[in-house]
Amino acid sequence: MRNRTLSLTAGLVLGAAAANAVPAAASDPKAVALADQVTEALGGEKAWAATRYLRFDWAVERGGKTVVTRAHTWNKHTGAYRLEGKTKDGKAYTVVMNLNDKQGKAVLDGKPLEGDALKKQLESAYGAWVNDGYWLIMPYKLKDPGVVLTLDGEQKTAEGEWDKLLLSFQSVGLTPKDRYWVYVNRKTHLVDRWDFILQGEEGPASTFLWKGWKKHGNVMLADDRVNPKDGTRIYFPVLEVPASIPEATFTTP
């Protein structure tokens, strides 16, 4: 969207290190209680921990045209991961790696990569996962270690009422000075919107509305994010919670 990587807290690549983790001591207890309500609305801690696989495409749409698509397959329990996409000049790539140790293999334009080229591709894949994964499962990461939660007001309109949950970070993630304001619907306890100011930016905040909440497996996920100002979409044309995935998916690029 901005050629920037949104921050991702450390627990994501560890899979189940998620909803029931302990947030930073600086967090407001009332904000933590609100995060707990979100967790329950999403399906609960046990359902998220038991969710083993996620398969999703992350896509960017501008002016009614999809300009970026990346395909992700993830084993939450082991960190095994597969990424498929295209470079800016249209060359197809596939990466298989483990997110925990960042080791793996990659193919670019039909050719296996080695040495520095492989290292660079693995780092790029990890960054894509950090960014794209956070767009999808941020509500499951509210209580990750290093996340500071603060209640930061409310919003009331004719359409509903929301509590604003501010997320800041204590030296975790790729860009720890990012800030997110998460709008929690008082009726559903789901996230309807987030505003964010990324590390190095002064503002104003960017806004995206979260739409399309539905149950996938035993957990809730939303497949659409829309910027109400310019119409930019971050969406997930493929979003699945498979019961199983062939092991070769994570070993053969």
Average per-residue pLDDT in the chain?
Answer: 90
3-state SS of 175-212 is: CCCCEEEEEEECCCCCEEEEEEECCCCCCCCEEEEEEE
Amino acid at 195: D
List, for residues 60-98, the tens digit of each pLDDT value.
999 999 999 999 999 999 999 999 999 999 999 999 999
pLDDT, tens digit, for every residue of 157-198?
A: 999 999 999 999 986 666 678 899 999 999 999 999 999 999
> One-letter amino acid identity for 236?
F
pTM summary value:
0.89
202 HSE (CA, 13 A, CB side): 0
- The span from the CA of 19 to the CA of 143, in Å, is 6
Q: Check residue 111 and give its pLDDT.
A: 97
Q: Which of 113, 60, 3 is nearest to 227 (CA)?
A: 60
Label residues 199-217 b or e (16+ Cβ within 10 Å = b): beeeeeebbbbbeebeebb
SS3 state of residue 163: strand
User: Could you tell me if 236 and 63 are in contact, meaning their C-beta atoms sit under 8 angstroms apart?
Assistant: no
Beta bridge mates, 69: 59
d(CA 142, CA 33): 11
* Per-residue pLDDT, 202: 83
d(CA 21, CA 144): 5
Rounded distance between C-alpha atoms, residue 169 and residue 141, angstroms? 12
- Residues 157 and 128: their CA atoms lie apart, in Å, by 36
**Domains of the chain listed by start with CATH number:** 12-250 (2.50.20)
**Would you state the structure tokens that stand for residue 89, as one six-digit string?**
């000049």
Q: pLDDT tens, 88-130?
A: 999 999 999 999 999 999 999 999 999 999 999 999 999 999 9
What is the Cα–Cα distance from 83 to 121, expressed in whole angstroms?
A: 11
